[in-house]
Amino acid sequence: NAGVTQTPKFRILKIGQSMTLQCAQDMNHNYMYWYRQDPGMGLKLIYYSVGAGITDKGEVPNGYNVSRSTTEDFPLRLELAAPSQTSVYFCASRTSGLQGTQYFGPGTRLLVL
Amino acid sequence: TQLLEQSPQFLSIQEGENLTVYCNSSSVFSSLQWYRQEPGEGPVLLVTVVTGGEVKKLKRLTFQFGDARKDSSLHITAAQPGDTGLYLCAGAPGGGSNYKLTFGKGTLLTVNP
């Protein structure tokens, strides 16, 4: 199994540009998540999904959108990039059960100039 | 909003020393997880503690969940350079929302040879 994969690994955007961060998992997990990690700030939940067709906002959803058309894929869309969105973005999927394990992808480093 | 405070934020020690990092909250969690994150990678789960007072050992790492399930500690014995990384604690709120974790800001550990 490849686990959780993310593309691209690194991207530079200009203010106002749009892009989609791709995330895929091959473990058949229903739960998937998008986090952002800023220096010294831990992980902040952007959006999450409990299954195909179901998504919900996390702690910091403004400026982002998601979709979940399949169990495997959970893309994150930035519509109008702003410098405040400069961060490292992690996608994760989770096993079922009360104490499920979250598996993280390698991250996408985004720089907005 | 449930918050997790981790201390210390930074820790630099010599190989062979012992250390303890802490994860504290005013809220009760149904379970607490510890992750380790190495530079350029996503977090990887180390352990999940569920019962108040529970102690789990993973080789030289000892994890404890507080009796009231509001705090946790990670103790490393005879630290090695390979233990270097960002240690994150994450709490599950319980009820129907166990799939949504709250992350602390992390403790950045450097073990010098």
- Flag whether pLDDT at A1 surpasses 80: no
Tens digit of pLDDT for each residue in A51-76? Answer: 999 999 999 999 999 999 999 999 99
B106 touches chain A (CB under 8 A): yes
- The reported pLDDT for the residue numbered A100 is 85
The closest CB to that of A99, out of B31, B105, B106, belongs to B31
| Tens place of pLDDT per residue across chain B (113 aa) | 678 999 999 999 999 999 999 999 999 998 999 999 998 899 999 999 999 999 999 999 999 999 999 999 999 999 999 999 999 999 988 766 677 889 999 999 999 99
Confirm or reject contact between B103 and chain A (CB < 8 A): yes
Burial letters A17-40, b for 16+ CB under 10 A, else e: eebebbbbbeeebbbbbbbbbeee
Q: Which two tokens stand for residue A69?
A: 């058309």
Count of CB pairs separated by less than 8 Å, A with B: 54
Q: Model confidence over A12-54: pLDDT tens digits?
A: 999 999 999 999 999 999 999 999 999 877 899 999 999 999 9
Any residues with CB less than 8 A from the CB of B83 and at least 6 apart, and which? B60, B76, B109, B111
Is A105's pLDDT higher than 80?
yes
- Decide if A98 and B31 are in contact by the 8 Å CB cutoff: yes
Nearest 5 degrees, angle CA B98-CA B59-CA B83?
A: 85
Q: Do A90 and B42 touch (CB under 8 A)?
A: yes
CA distance A29 to A68: 12
Whose CA is closest to A46, among A14, A21, A26?
Answer: A21
8 A C-beta contact, residue B98 and residue B30: yes
**What is the distance of C-alpha B83 from the center of its chain?**
13
